[in-house]
Amino acid sequence: MDKIENIDIATALKVLPELIELLRDSVDSGASIGFWSPLQYETAFGYWQDIIKELEKGYRSLLVGYSHGKVVASAQLSFISKQNGSHRVELQKLMVHTKYRGLGYGRDILTASEAEAKTRECRLLFLDTRKGDAAEQLYIKQGYTCAGVIPQYIVEADGTFTDTVIYYKLL
């Protein structure tokens, strides 16, 4: 990846079409990140509009990875606004475009997310992922600990239920 940056609202608006494409590619290739495939353009657009609004509040960071000037990866950090939770942050929606998977971009955006969390003085990063997904191996290799499994957490498009796994890492 050429660079990873924590983008502001203006940059998010500038790369919005690429963020929409990244989200649609991720969902349509089977990622369990809150949406069913096929992900409609309007749904993806609305999602990113909501995220951009949250950037304004300061409780969310959006990290974007570029290769040759094109958005190929992203991750979000959702910071806790409560006094007793200011030391922890949730990693959300780590995505790598299918054309760039297997090249270390997932590891790179995860590492950049951890570094960003540390700049905000967070000591605990947590996340969830669908049980059995390839992402589990990424988190384990990067030193995350399994806190447990929540059964039937995700309802799939076909009506079946899937478990989710909670991971954490002390930074």
CATH number of the domain that 116 lies in?
Answer: 3.40.630.30
Residue 61 lies in a domain: yes
The Cα 21–Cα 32 span in angstroms is 16
Residue 119 lies in a domain: yes
Residue 99 lies in a domain: yes
Residue 169 lies in a domain: no
Residue 117 lies in a domain: yes
Is there a contact between 82 and 125 (Cβ–Cβ < 8 Å)?
no
- Closest residue by Cα to residue 96 from 107, 85, 87, 84: 107
Residue 151 lies in a domain: no
pTM score, whole prediction = 0.95
Instruction: Give pLDDT, residue 103.
Output: 96
User: 166: number of CA atoms within 13 Å, CB side?
Assistant: 10
Residue 29 lies in a domain: yes
Instruction: Give pLDDT, residue 124.
Output: 98
Domain of 59, in residue numbers: 3-124
Q: Domain count of the chain?
A: 1
Instruction: Give pLDDT, residue 80.
Output: 92
Q: Encode the chain (171 residues) as per-residue pLDDT tens digits.
A: 899 999 999 999 999 999 999 999 999 999 999 999 999 999 999 999 999 999 998 899 999 999 999 999 999 999 998 999 999 999 999 999 999 999 999 999 999 999 999 999 999 999 999 999 999 999 999 999 999 999 999 999 999 999 999 999 999
Residue 9 lies in a domain: yes
